[in-house]
Amino acid sequence: MKSLFILNNPTKLDACLNAMSTQDGLLLIEDAVIATHHSGLSCVTYALEEDLIARGLSQLVKQHLVNSNIKIIDYTQFVELTLQYDKTVSWL
């Protein structure tokens, strides 16, 4: 089964990555959207656009992510994404 890990706390990113399997995806929401530049993000990674916009980070992150495989998604895509994985794991 593949899982979508949902992370809202940037200080727990390393612990979360540690618990993931290769086929899993990671969605950064709330404060964790500040971690898009983290060097350890080798898994499929998404960042929630509304949370980036709220913090004034949307443009900045898009500039920095030109060559990255991080996908920026909105709430509609967030809802659909939870259905593309077998389960979600909110890493608290």
Partner 1 sequence: MAIFSLLVTATPYSAQGQFSALQFVRVAINNGHSIKRVFFYADGVLVASRLNHPPSDEINLTKAWAKLAIEQDIDLVVCVTAALKRGITNHAEAERNALTGENLDPAFEISGLGQLTEAMLESDRLITFG
Partner 2 sequence: MKSICIIFNKVPYGSQSSRELLDIALMAAAFDMPIKALFIEQGVLQLINKQQPEVLDIKNHSATFKALELYGIEEIYVDANALNNYQLTHDDLMPIAELIDNNAISEHIQQSDFVLML
Nearest distance from residue 31's CB to partner 1, in Å? Answer: 7
Instruction: Determine if 60 is a binding residue for partner 2 (CB under 8 A).
Output: yes
Contact flag: residue 38 with partner 2 (CB under 8 A): no
2/24 Cα distance (integer angstroms) = 5
Q: Is 36 exposed, middle or buried (0-12, 13-18, 19+ CB in 10 A)?
A: buried
Name the one range near partner 2 by CB under 8 A: 18-26, 39-47, 77-85.
18-26
By beta-carbon proximity to partner 1, the closer residue of 11 and 76 is 76
Task: Count Cβ atoms below 10 Å from residue 26 Cβ, excluding itself.
Answer: 25
